[in-house]
Amino acid sequence: MLQSIVKAVRPLAWLVLAVSGLRALPAQQPTAFFGAHLHSQVRADSRTTRWNWYDDLGRHSVAYLQLYVEPGYGAYIAQRLQNVAGDRTRTALDEAYVERVGGWRVGKFYAPFGAGTLLNESVFAVQSPAQFAIADLPMRVAYLFNGKDRQQGFYVRVGTPNGGASVGIGRHFATDPHALAVLFLPEARRDPKGYDLLYGADWRPPLLERAIQLEWVYGEGKGVPATHWFSLGWQGRNLPYQPDLRIAYQTAGEQFSWRLSLQQGVAERFALNLVMRGNQDELQFIAIGLRGEL
């Protein structure tokens, strides 16, 4: 009973802390926005049809509250409408953080490794931009501490939005349903041991208005096979139905996956998605999703 009460009030505690921090800033009243991000999806495969308040990439439908003050500080808190089955994170809290907009961020949020196309887990972390001493390149540094037997350690990326190199040192990386979701469905089990060392590189080649995203990540850890992951993404932003193609490959087990999404707007803030996804040479499922803002 006590644990249930604690879980229920924890998001409110985050909200109180965020508002208190913003109100402590000099002579500024925060501007508040309340709404919802929708990522619902109906999936059909050879065995069953299911409806979820999240999509096959682990993107959740959430209700959120966002606060801003004029000097450039903000806070954000979001509650999931549904957790992924088997997720070790029992709370419905998706994100809750305070930030300097475009700068540092502290709290629970999605901390990407590299470009985030392969690894982008919701964790408790501190993240800040910095400058790399050599060539004065932009750098992003994050310290993750998500609790005992969960993600802990450092992520560092050096580079621009069009390309960079990354390293991660710690333990239990890639253990949540949002990790490697382009290869494995959110409901698929992730090894709780995870990875202790990550290397990666990402690049947007100067082709097709930089609509192509390439990423490579290497991971190794105790009790898990070392592996390379490769991903390719392409978005036809100016084409009919705005196709979004993603292809991924994992060397351990020679896992191959592809995903194609087509989008059609149905209202000013809503769009329907048709998703086809496969692994190896088989069609895994077909899904229809609704994305939008309330």
pLDDT in tens, 61-99: 999 999 998 788 999 999 999 999 888 887 899 999 999
Task: Determine the structural domain holding residue 238 and report its residue range.
Answer: 38-55+96-293
% of the chain exceeding 70 in pLDDT = 90
Question: Do 219 and 194 form a contact (C-beta atoms < 8 A)?
Answer: no
Q: List 79's β-bridge partners, or say none.
A: 63, 93
According to the model, what pLDDT value does residue 8 have?
A: 40
User: Which stretches within 129-278 are classed as H helix?
Assistant: none
In a domain, 175, yes or no: yes
In this structure, the chain runs to a length of: 294
Q: Is residue 12 part of a domain?
A: no
**For the chain, what is the domain count?**
1
Asked if the structure places residue 206 within a domain, the reply is yes
Q: Which amino acid is at 166?
A: S
Give the residue carrying structure tokens 């990550």.
198
- The single-letter DSSP state of residue 45 is -
- pLDDT band at residue 14 under the 50/70/90 scheme: low
Q: Looking at the domain assignment, is residue 88 inside a domain?
A: no
> Which has the closest alpha carbon to 198: 125, 133, 118?
118
Q: Which amino acid is at 93?
A: L
Is 154 within the bounds of a domain? yes
Distance CA 213, CA 173 (A): 22
CB 140 within 8 A of CB 129: yes
Residue 139 lies in a domain: yes
Q: Tell me the CATH number at 152.
A: 2.40.160
The mean pLDDT value for 219-243 works out to 94
d(CA 292, CA 283): 27
Asked, for residue 16, whether it belongs to a domain, the answer is no
Note whether residue 277 is domain-resident: yes
